[in-house]
């Protein structure tokens, strides 16, 4: 369900406020989960409660917007990473961003499941967007001769999902990074 603020372009100050709310919500939901107080999110964002509710009239609308924003930021990072470093290093850096995304989503997992249980789909096109990001990264790595050609983006996506399922909580970050290193090492071309 899209609110009217999402249907028309926002003024620059309104867009900044919306982005501050989304960033604060990620932090607060990661810390407190489903029981996070929206007033705390507004305070941490430096906006009033009315501004928060004008942008996100319900808790569910905020949670869904946070999730979609996190997916978009994750996927939008690919071109910049590929422009700034060799493809394999860009892939490695992106997988760390993926862990950040998963950790943020971990605090919102119950809320996302509750939204899905109402018949809404907070995930929308997220899986396709993430798969496209992985494809772009892997294609660049293959073109540079850095990774094997017999592993598909679907394979890597499944591996990342497995790592996320077993190591998504913030206290398991070192383990998740080790698993990522093992996975990425398995992609490398061997002489």
For the chain, 191 residues long, the average pLDDT of each consecutive 10-residue run is 53 88 87 83 95 91 86 94 97 93 70 66 77 96 96 93 82 90 93 74
* pLDDT for the residue numbered 2: 45
Among 52, 50, 77, smallest CA distance to 66 is for 52
* pLDDT for the residue numbered 138: 97
Domains and CATH numbers, the chain: 4-187 (1.10.357.10)
The whole-model pTM stands at 0.79
C-alpha distance from residue 42 to each of 5, 30, 100, 104, 171 (Å): 17, 15, 22, 18, 27
d(CA 176, CA 23): 23
* pLDDT for the residue numbered 4: 43
32 DSSP 8-state letter:
H
d(CA 177, CA 122): 27
């Amino acid at each position: 369900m899209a609110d009217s603020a999402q249907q028309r372009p926002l003024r620059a100050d309104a867009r900044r406020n919306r982005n501050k709310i989304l960033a604060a919500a990620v932090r607060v939901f990661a810390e407190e989960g489903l029981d996070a107080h929206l007033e705390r999110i507004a305070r941490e964002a430096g906006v009033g409660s009315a501004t928060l509710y004008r942008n996100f009239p319900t808790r569910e609308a905020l949670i869904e917007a946070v999730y979609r924003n996190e997916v978009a930021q994750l996927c939008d990072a690919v071109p910049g990473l590929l422009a700034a470093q060799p493809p394999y290093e860009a892939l490695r850096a992106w997988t760390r961003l993926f862990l950040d995304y998963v950790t943020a989503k971990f605090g919102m997992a119950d809320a996302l499941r509750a939204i899905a249980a109402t018949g809404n789909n907070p995930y929308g096109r997220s899986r396709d967007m993430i798969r496209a990001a992985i494809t772009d990264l892997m294609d660049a790595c293959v073109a540079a001769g850095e990774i094997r050609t017999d592993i598909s983006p679907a394979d890597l996506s499944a591996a990342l999902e497995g790592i996320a399922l077993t190591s998504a909580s913030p206290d398991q970050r070192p383990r998740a990074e080790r698993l990522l290193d093992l996975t990425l090492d398995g992609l490398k071309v061997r002489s």
